[in-house]
Each structure stands twice: as structure tokens, then as C-alpha cells.
Amino acid sequence: MLATEREEFIRKLILEKRVVYVNNLADELGVTRPTVRNDLDKLVKKHNDLTRIHGGIMLKEEIMGKDLTDGITEYSERAFVNKEEKKAIAKKAIEFVKKGDTILLDSSSTCFEFASELVTFSEQLTVITNGISTGAILKQNRHINVLAIGGLLKANSNTIYDEFFSPILDNFNIDTYFFSASGLSLDGGFSENNLMEVKHKRTNVINSKKSIALVDSTKFNKDSSSTFCTFEEVDILITDANLDKSIEQQFDSRIKIIKADS
């Protein structure tokens, strides 16, 4: 298939599905991923109704409607807050994932950014999550087995609330639990505003072999409604480069801190 034919095929597919991903296109067209990325870059230059996203291409918000866009890429206003810092944290977190791992991700916007990075992970992996958007983007990677925790869905939320105590987690040995928090402080540890998530986060920290917190610098020295774990129960805290040195020194004696590149 010629380049022009591929571009026409991709263009039609975008208009039909609204969002398409590099991995799927490469498999369907029988070409390399760099070839597909090059095709997508050309299409964006030719058509002003398209925009590139991590791992793919989609119709712009004004064309497809903001609600649909939010459902696929960003699910709430929180996803736009400190977005670049969250992306940096996500890139650093990839270093702690290896072939064959079974990992658990919470439904936070930071873990959504982490999932966006995992879309291009080329090794076999099992990911369990209660995040709707998180699971949706991860399923585009054929190397990743994605398991969604069942439960209750609420309006304007990315979270599946496991109010029925699904036994799914009892059947897996979780190598690493990646999570975020609404706040963290020296006295209060890691805390969460969403009380429905507190008990599950607490259980996940206890039952996983390793726990890694992905928290941007704006959450430090803040206490939310309820503490779900202490610093001593978490192995690593990854944050962004904007964390003040004096604050880093305060927390460094309690938990291993890794700052992502800016």
C-alpha cells in the first residue's frame, strides 16, 4: 500500500472511530510503528480537524464534542492540573516496570498519565485498574493484559467503586501498586479526599509486594479527609522537579524520594 493510500485509509478510520492508535494501525496496515507515526504527522499537517495524542491521533474537540474527548483522553478537570508534572512523573515511573510484572493502578489522573506512557511498552504485562480511562487507553497495547475491577460507576468520575468486594485481586500476586494521593504530610502520611477509595487503597498497599506513590509537588504538606497509609508502608515516592529542596529534605528521612526530570 502506497503512503497516500495509507493516509486515506487512516483518515477514513479516524472519521469513523474518532480516535485511532499507532499500535493498532501498524498491525492492521502491516507496516512499522515509525511509518505510522510519520503518516499521522503528515495527516495532522494536512487536516486542521485532527490532533496528535500520545500513541495515536484523534479528531479535535470542537469536531467530536468535548464530552466524547473527555471520555477518551481526559476525564475531569483534574487531568489538566499540573499535567506536565504528571507526565514527567509517569515517564520516571516506567523505570520501575519490567517484563512479566502484574501491576495495579489507581484511578487518579497521574496514573492515567502513567497508563499513557505504558501504551508503548513493548513487553508482556498485566495491569489491573479501577480507572475507566486508564483501562481504555491501556487496551490499545496488545502486549498488555488489562483487567478492570468491577463495581459502581458514578457521574463525572473515572473511578469504578468496588462496593461489592470483587475477588479479582485475591487471584493475583501484585508486584507493584502505583497510586496517587490528594495530599501527604509528615504527620498524616498519604491521605485521600474520596472516602470511598480510602479503604481500597489501604488494602492495596498492604497486599502488594511493593507500593510506589506518584504525587506531584503541589500535594506536599497537605492533609485530606482520611489517611490510608503511612510513609513507612510505601517503598518509593516519585514526584516532579518542582519540589522545593527544603521540603524534600523534610520528607527524605521518612521515605525514599525520586524527582522526575523537568
In the sheet with 236-239, reading across from the earlier edge strand, the strands are 144-148, 125-129, 102-105, 176-179, 210-214, 236-239, 256-259
What is the rounded CA–CA span in Å between residue 245 and residue 59? 42
Query: Is the pLDDT confidence value at 24 over 50?
Result: yes
Residues 234-256 have a mean pLDDT of: 96
With a CB cutoff of 8 Å and minimum separation 6, the contacts of 155 are none
CB environment 128-150: b (16+ within 10 A), e (fewer): bbbbbbbbbbbebbeebebbbbe
**Could you write out the three-class secondary structure of 183-223?**
EEECCCEEEECCHHHHHHHHHHHHHCCEEEEECCHHHECCC
Q: Which CATH architecture best describes the domain 1-61?
A: Orthogonal Bundle (1.10)
What is the rounded CA–CA span in Å between residue 220 and residue 228? 15
Question: Which of 244, 187, 211 has the alpha carbon at shortest distance from 111?
Answer: 211
pLDDT of residue 65: 46
> For the segment 196-210, what is each residue's pLDDT rounded down to a tens digit?
788 889 999 999 999
With a CB cutoff of 8 Å and minimum separation 6, the contacts of 33 are 22, 23, 26
Which grid coordinates belong to 244?
A: 522545593
Q: Is the dihedral of CA 186, 190, 192, 195 positive or negative?
A: negative
Q: Could you tell me if 226 and 232 are in contact, meaning their C-beta atoms sit under 8 angstroms apart?
A: no
The radius of gyration computed from the CA coordinates of the chain, to the nearest angstrom, equals: 19
What count of other Cβ atoms lies within 10 Å of the Cβ of residue 7? 17
Pairing verdict, β 236-239 and 256-259? parallel
> For the segment 38-54, what is each residue's pLDDT rounded down to a tens digit?
999 999 998 888 888 87
What count of other Cβ atoms lies within 10 Å of the Cβ of residue 189? 20
pLDDT of residue 156: 60
pLDDT of residue 19: 84
Most confident of 55-59, 164-168, 186-190: 186-190
Map out the domains of the chain as residue ranges.
1-61, 81-257
With a CB cutoff of 8 Å and minimum separation 6, the contacts of 17 are none
Question: 152: part of which helix (H) or strand (E)?
Answer: strand 152-153
pTM score > 0.85 for this model? no
pLDDT range class, residue 78, cuts 50, 70, 90: low
Do 1-61 and 81-257 come out as alike in CATH topology?
no
Instruction: Tell me the average pLDDT of the chain.
Output: 86
pLDDT range class, residue 194, cuts 50, 70, 90: confident
Question: 92: part of which helix (H) or strand (E)?
Answer: helix 83-93
Residues 87-94 have a mean pLDDT of: 96
What is the rounded CA–CA span in Å between residue 248 and residue 258? 10
What is the rounded CA–CA span in Å between residue 242 and residue 185? 17
Q: Which residue has the higher pLDDT, 2 or 144?
A: 144
Q: The domain 81-257: what is its CATH number?
A: 3.40.50.1360
pLDDT of residue 176: 98
